[in-house]
């Protein structure tokens, strides 16, 4: 036991590390020194053993508690250290295969899901462009798309009608073969059948043996009122059919909303830049404000300043799948007249001379702030 390194030191974590931190540390380091990636590397092999032993103890709450209390002299094992029977042997099927599958998700020949097991079909995506008004009020849309489906002539088997695929003589229908490599035994997809467990002697002429053909389909769906740009509508089961009896994939419809020439959206609220005349701002008056449902009359108060804001309740966007409707926030933009006639210029001069001095001082003060 004198040569053993502390398990926490082996994984590079502190003694107060969480279970998730221990798991991440183990996976990261085990990937780097896995013997399948370093064949005939004795140092990597030893490092991998050491990591497995440390992880086996620290990932188990009971073993970790005993290790924290007794170290390597666990009395439950006669003071002779921790039981390592759960690590699996290097020459058997229970060791590297299961570990490699956990680390790499069954990729690269370390076992994992068989190719002839039920698999969910591929998901599909379609980008749908709609108008701002369609997003606000909802609508019904449809589009055509293509997806791979089971060939109706061979019913997805890939074999010529009237024939059937045969059990692969190499893997006996399992779709996998075991490969002996020195002290290691790995499981890989059968190259003779591509992992399907079956071989096709006479291919279906309609799908050339793939079992699938492209077909045009039409999707009709409802766009909910209030949907926003970039949101997705999921049509469950409308993707491609699964393999070996697996479920269909899904169809994802990504909504792209065209910008509006007047309104800018902020969640359920809308913003509108509203130009008004200089005289309307000074004297007040009634104006018409555009909304999604038509024009609304609004009374501008006397002395309204540029950049003033007014809120029209309930004139914004509806909240999706809710009765709530946002507001329309109007930003006043005072238009200063240009190309004045001589009479208008004289009137402006008279107006300026008649304004109280405090108005001029307050305007100058605002510029220096």
- Residue 331: beta bridge partners? 273, 309
Token look-up 């599909």 returns 124
Highest mean pLDDT among 28-32, 33-37, 210-214: 210-214
Asked whether residue 136 is assigned to any structural domain, the reply reads: yes
What are the residue ranges of helices labelled H in the chain?
7-11, 19-33, 42-58, 61-70, 96-104, 132-137, 278-283, 342-354, 357-368
Query: Would you state the pLDDT for residue 270?
Result: 98
Cα dihedral 87, 88, 91, 97 sign: negative
Q: What is the CATH number of the domain that holds 138?
A: 2.60.260.20
Asked whether residue 73 is assigned to any structural domain, the reply reads: yes
Are residue 269 and residue 367 in the same domain, yes or no? no
With CA atoms as reference, report the closest residue to 202 among 238, 153, 247, 240: 153
Distance CA 150, CA 166 (A): 19
Which pLDDT tens digit goes with each residue over 87-101? Answer: 333 333 334 444 544
Check residues 120 and 358 and name the one with the higher pLDDT.
120
With CA atoms as reference, report the closest residue to 198 among 175, 221, 182: 175
Are residue 21 and residue 133 in the same domain, yes or no? no
Q: Provide mean pLDDT across the span 38-54.
A: 83
> What tokens appear for 204 in the block?
């279906």
Domain count, the chain: 4
Are residue 249 and residue 291 in the same domain, yes or no? no
Asked whether residue 171 is assigned to any structural domain, the reply reads: no
Q: Domain of 354?
A: 342-369
Are residue 133 and residue 33 in the same domain, yes or no? no
Distance CA 317, CA 267 (A): 8
- Work out the pLDDT band at 134, boundaries 50, 70, 90: very high
Distance CA 333, CA 339 (A): 19
Asked whether residue 194 is assigned to any structural domain, the reply reads: no
Are residue 141 and residue 252 in the same domain, yes or no? yes
Give CA 111 to chain center in angstroms.
Answer: 28
Rg (CA), the chain: 36
Asked whether residue 2 is assigned to any structural domain, the reply reads: no
pTM of the model: 0.61
Query: Would you state the pLDDT for residue 363?
Result: 47
- Angle (deg, nearest 10), helices 19-33 and 96-104: 110
């Amino acid at each position: 036991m004198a040569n053993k390194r502390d398990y926490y030191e082996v994984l590079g974590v502190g003694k107060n590390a969480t279970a998730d931190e221990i798991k991440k540390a183990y996976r990261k380091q085990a990937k780097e020194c896995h013997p399948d990636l370093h064949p005939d590397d004795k140092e990597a092999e030893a490092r991998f053993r050491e990591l497995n032993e440390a992880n086996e103890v620290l990932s188990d709450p009971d073993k970790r508690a005993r290790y924290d209390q007794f170290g390597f002299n666990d009395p439950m094992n006669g003071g002779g250290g921790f039981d390592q029977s759960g690590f699996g042997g290097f020459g058997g099927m229970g060791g590297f295969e299961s570990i490699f599958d956990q680390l790499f998700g069954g990729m690269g020949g370390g076992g994992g899901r068989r190719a002839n097991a039920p698999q969910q079909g591929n998901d599909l995506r379609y980008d749908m462009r709609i108008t701002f008004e369609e997003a606000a009020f909802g609508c019904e849309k449809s589009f055509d798309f293509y997806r791979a489906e089971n060939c109706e002539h061979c019913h997805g088997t890939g074999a010529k009608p009237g024939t059937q695929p045969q059990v692969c003589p190499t893997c006996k229908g399992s779709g996998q073969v075991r490969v002996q490599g020195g002290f290691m035994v790995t499981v890989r997809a059968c190259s003779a059948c591509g992992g399907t467990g079956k071989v096709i002697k006479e291919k279906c002429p309609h799908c050339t043996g793939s079992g699938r053909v492209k077909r045009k389909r039409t999707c009709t769906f409802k766009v909910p009122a209030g949907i926003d740009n970039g949101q997705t509508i999921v049509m469950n089961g409308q993707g491609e059919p699964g393999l070996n009896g697996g479920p269909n994939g899904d169809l994802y419809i990504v909504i792209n909303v065209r910008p509006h020439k007047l309104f800018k959206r902020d969640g359920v609220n809308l913003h509108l830049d509203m130009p008004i005349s200089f005289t309307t701002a000074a004297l007040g008056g009634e104006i018409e404000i555009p909304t999604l449902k038509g024009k609304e009359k609004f009374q501008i108060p006397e002395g309204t300043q540029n950049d003033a804001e007014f809120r029209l309740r309930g004139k914004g966007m509806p909240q999706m799948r809710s009765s709530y409707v946002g507001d329309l926030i109007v930003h006043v933009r005072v238009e200063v007249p240009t190309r004045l006639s001589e009479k208008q210029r004289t009137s402006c001069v008279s107006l300026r001379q008649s304004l109280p001095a405090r108005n001029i001082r307050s305007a100058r003060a605002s510029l220096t702030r």
